[in-house]
Amino acid sequence: MIMLSVGFALVELNKINSHQHLFTHALVIVVGLASVVAIYYYQDYVSFNSCGRKSWLITWLLTLTTITIFSLLLIQFIVYPQKVFLLHKPLFVILGILYVSMFLSYLILIRGSADGKKWLLFTLFVVWCGDCGAYFMGSIKGKHKLCPTTSPHKTVEGAVGGIIASVVAALIARIWFFEQLSIPHSIALALGIATIGQLGDLCESTLKRLHGVKDSGTLLPGHGGMLDRIDSLLFAAPLVYYYKTLML
């Protein structure tokens, strides 16, 4: 499922940046999918449970660097929308591979850790409930624009609704199937997932806005493309993995 999701998302990312050569498009997809396979087969070397190996440090640094660059991209686009310089080749290619392939592959690391099934289900449940809460609250009560330069339809009310829905979902998940996770940790994770998930959503909106694209694709009717569907999850998955590993 992750391979399929990454494949579709990389195709959509290539379509967003249509000015690249066909060879570059193919290279992004091949390297991106190969990265997922490598992380799956060598997850013992890139995880924190690597028995003293330092390979995980590379993964951590790449993740932190990618999130930082995308955050700077978002800020730059808001402040100087006509002078964005962070998406020139080959930076866009490298960022695309890290952004889609590596971030989503954190679900593999989550699944391979202790209680991996429960953590994976918890992550998906909280992210998707947060997305639904943000959409419905924004549709019903949305008045104040959250970031009109990047995404004119997102509102402060929608963001608050997403946070509330994420917290409620985390508490329901704890009662439903994850009693080992304490209430404070459930709430803290939900707040982190909701916040960084919305940052991921805004960053993906920035990519589309910079290239004059409304939706990343038409794969999922009513949702747009695969990239539109997983944009929040891309940032949330690393957060959940490192929170689980370092805080619990």
Overall average pLDDT of the 140-159 stretch: 81
Specify the pLDDT at position 85: 53
For residue 181, pLDDT beyond 80: yes
For residue 223, pLDDT beyond 60: no
- To which H or E segment does residue 153 belong? strand 151-155
Q: Sorting pLDDT into bands at 50, 70 and 90, what band is 6?
A: very high
- Give me the phi and psi of 51, to 5 degrees please: 55, 50
Least trusted range by pLDDT, from 24-33, 43-52, 172-181, 236-245:
43-52
C-alpha distances in angstroms, 166 versus 135, 139, 169? 12, 17, 5
Crossing angle for the helix pair 103-112 and 22-41, to the nearest 10 degrees: 20
For residue 72, pLDDT beyond 60: yes
For residue 172, pLDDT beyond 90: yes
- Give me the phi and psi of 219, to 5 degrees please: -65, -40
Specify the pLDDT at position 24: 78
Local structure of residue 214 (DSSP, 8 states): S
- Give me the phi and psi of 178, to 5 degrees please: -135, 60
Alpha-carbon gap, residue 213 to 215, rounded angstroms: 6
For residue 239, pLDDT beyond 60: yes
Alpha-carbon gap, residue 114 to 197, rounded angstroms: 24
| CB burial of residue 88 (10 Å; 0-12, 13-18, 19+) | exposed
For residue 59, pLDDT beyond 80: no
Specify the pLDDT at position 214: 65
For residue 87, pLDDT beyond 60: no
Q: Sorting pLDDT into bands at 50, 70 and 90, what band is 3?
A: very high
Look at 83 and 72; give whichever has higher pLDDT.
72
* Tens-digit pLDDT profile for residues 119-140: 999 999 999 999 999 989 988 8
C-alpha distances in angstroms, 91 versus 65, 86, 151, 202? 12, 7, 23, 19
Measured from the Cβ of residue 37, the count of other Cβ atoms closer than 10 Å reads: 12
Q: What is the largest CA-CA distance in the chain?
A: 51
* Tens-digit pLDDT profile for residues 23-42: 777 888 898 999 899 888 88
Q: Please state the pTM of the whole predicted model.
A: 0.84
Least trusted range by pLDDT, from 49-63, 66-80, 104-118, 188-202:
49-63
